[in-house]
Amino acid sequence: MSKTLTLIRHAKSSWKFPDLDDHDRPLNKRGNRDKRLMANYLAQQSWPIDIIFSSTAERALSYAKILSEQGVLELSTTSSLYTFRHREVLAFIIQLDESLCDVALVGHNPAMTALVNDLGNQVLDNLPTSALVRIEFSASNWAEIGLQKGRVVESQSPKKLALQAP
């Protein structure tokens, strides 16, 4: 059984409150708009996502919640994804329960961009806020992820969706 990973960068956050801890920064106006647009897009896909794991940071979690609600998907939060280091996210991925075949992660840059570049067969300069990249692996278990390149089967962002709109 193959594994599929959807890597999602949190929506655009606000810097309006400089006294807030980084973990507690909310989304800004554009982030709130983009999260609804991307949640609608995700809900229209027929992807068999088993679960969404999200960073505990406010800007990631508020985005993950709407993705979960729109797609009627289970959501789990983990402090393991509140990191900017892709190796730490990879460590989380390789220990996933083997009953899960299709997993989405909502996290932070530069970790998300580095993971796309490390795990996928395409290279990005930067995964934009609210964007997602879906990668399929021929791996039969999560521990094999990272030992081989997966195939990028979807890449989407609010900006690309806006260009496609009629």
Give the residue numbers spanning the domain of 44: 3-164
As to burial, measured by CB atoms within 10 angstroms (0-12 exposed, 13-18 middle, 19+ buried), residue 149 is middle
Of the two residues 88 and 1, the one the predictor is more confident about is 88
Query: What are 88's two structure tokens?
Result: 């730490």
Of the two residues 21 and 107, the one the predictor is more confident about is 107
27-81 pLDDT, tens digit per residue, is 889 999 999 999 999 999 989 999 999 999 999 999 999 999 988 899 999 999 9
3-class state of residue 155 by DSSP: strand
As to burial, measured by CB atoms within 10 angstroms (0-12 exposed, 13-18 middle, 19+ buried), residue 124 is middle
pLDDT value for 166: 66
pLDDT at 21 over 90: no
Q: What is the pTM of this model?
A: 0.94
Q: What is the CATH number of the domain that holds 55?
A: 3.40.50.1240
**Total structural domains within the chain:** 1
124-134 pLDDT, tens digit per residue, is 999 999 999 99
- Please tell me the distance from the alpha carbon of residue 8 to that of residue 108, in angstroms, as a whole number: 8
For residue 114, the surrounding DSSP H or E stretch is helix 111-119
